[in-house]
Amino acid sequence: MEILYNSTRSENAPVKASEAILKGLSPDGGLFVPDHIPALDVPLDELAKMDYCQTAYEVMKLFFTDFTGQELKDCIARAYDEKFDTKEIAPVVEKDGVFYLELFHGATIAFKDMALSILPHLLTTSAKKNNVKNEIVILTATSGDTGKAALSGFADVEGTRILVFYPKNGVSPIQEKQMVTQKGKNTRVVGIRGNFDDAQSGVKKIFGDRELSQELDAKGFQFSSANSINIGRLVPQIVYYVYAYGQLLKEGKIKAGEEINVTVPTGNFGNILAAFYAKQMGLPIDKLICASNENKVLYDFFRTGTYDRNREFVLTSSPSMDILISSNLERLIYHIAGNDSDKNRELMTALTEGGTYSITKSMREKLADFYGYYADEEETAETIRDLYQKTGYVIDTHTAVASCVYGKYRKETGDTKPTVLASTASPFKFTRSVMAAIDTKYEESEDLELADMLSQISKVKMPKAIEEIRTAPVLHNHLCEKDEMKQAVLEFLSK
């Protein structure tokens, strides 16, 4: 059955999957959502027999209905190949009674690789399907991981250019080094003097600039996005929850139909929204445990029904979650409002104009599947240290936030269902915070020295992504004010 995509902010005519992927953001500023959530049509016990690529096909064929089977299989095969350092693509590792879903085995050692390995192929296939002659300009804001993963995915992809904005002092040293050393004639990285929300708002503003779009169209360019506002980014994230369930079945950890919980460290809400969609498809998920750091805007939202970004922005050791405007939450708001674009638009306007909105009682009742909590900096470090001392397993700061919050959930509820925890980045990406959490004696060392020490104590081989940046030259040293982002785009496109 064909799935079309509506905007969360208007009743405009729906578009096909390939059109939604190409546009990234709806012209009215809304996000594209499927007109219905398809049911998983594979018997659950069959999931145990499938590899990652087979699982990806079974999920994506249901959402991307205007792609042929062969087009989708080609995109999947090109995405999930030797770029990943393990044949499982996303292994499930049991430690201390929790199933850690390792999403960091791709080229840039973060979960964004899972979707950004396939997005360039979905996008270029969509362009051909829609006879697009323009060069596609990928415009992306990053809190650390999306940037490098998008740059890596789109570098030298014909018919595309990619420009990534990041908060100059809001990412880890290794995240920054990964981005500013990126090769590719079609790439550019720009640091902004501001935080991630400034970068994200600036990108959305550029997308909504009709005059700019017309001006660029005349010059042979059109915008698209690699952020999880793009449905072509979000749908591939559903896959790994379905795959994880199959792996637990295969290993005899659960029986077909048995419910699991899913815990996700969350900033922009895309990763946990993908788990919500997996549940809507019929995957037996009970609770969706939403873990926040000290920027606990989502925790407060789930506790009170009020979303309020009017608060101090905190720089933490889990920078990919240092976010006060969770873009993908808009999709959930639209769904719990009964797919009411007018109601959703009213709330999003209130957020833009006053920084806050409150949902209705009936909408709150539809959030019963979610549990939200947060971990502070001390708790995050303690979680890393405790897990290492117990098991020898080292997790990064974002995964530690989720692990800590899951512990709070279990203590509060007594719920002991098997739980999959999304491990969103390699600890090698945040060596300073991780090693300092394990022992304060490491605080004086350089980041790449710490990577060597981490490899020794964890008995894990140094990821290629870290080895590559040791001697890589800086190729991008562009900086701009947050209100100069449009000029930065125009300058990039004039070269």
- At 141, give phi and psi (nearest 5°): -105, 145
The active-site residue, picked from 112, 129, 177, 204, is 112
The strand pairing partners of 188, in sequence order, are: 163
Alpha helices in 49-116 (DSSP H): 52-63, 69-79, 112-116
The Cα 51–Cα 47 span in angstroms is: 8
Helices (DSSP H) in 181-325: which residue ranges?
Answer: 196-207, 210-218, 231-250, 270-280, 297-304
- Residue 465: closest CA among 108, 173, 81: 108
> 22-58: b or e for each residue (b if 16 or more CB lie within 10 Å)?
bbbbbeebbbbbbeebbebebebeebbebebbbbbbb
Judge whether 183 counts as a catalytic residue. Answer: no
**Contacts of 495 by beta carbon, 8 Å cutoff, 6+ apart:** none
DSSP 443: G
Provide DSSP, 398-417.
HHHHHHHHHHHHHHHH----
CA distances from 111 to 30, 106, 147, 313, 377 (A): 25, 8, 12, 24, 22
Alpha carbon separation from 261 to 23, 251, 383, 428, 438 (Å, rounded): 34, 17, 20, 27, 28
Query: Minimal CA–CA distance to 72: which of 84, 61, 62?
Result: 61
Catalytic positions are 112
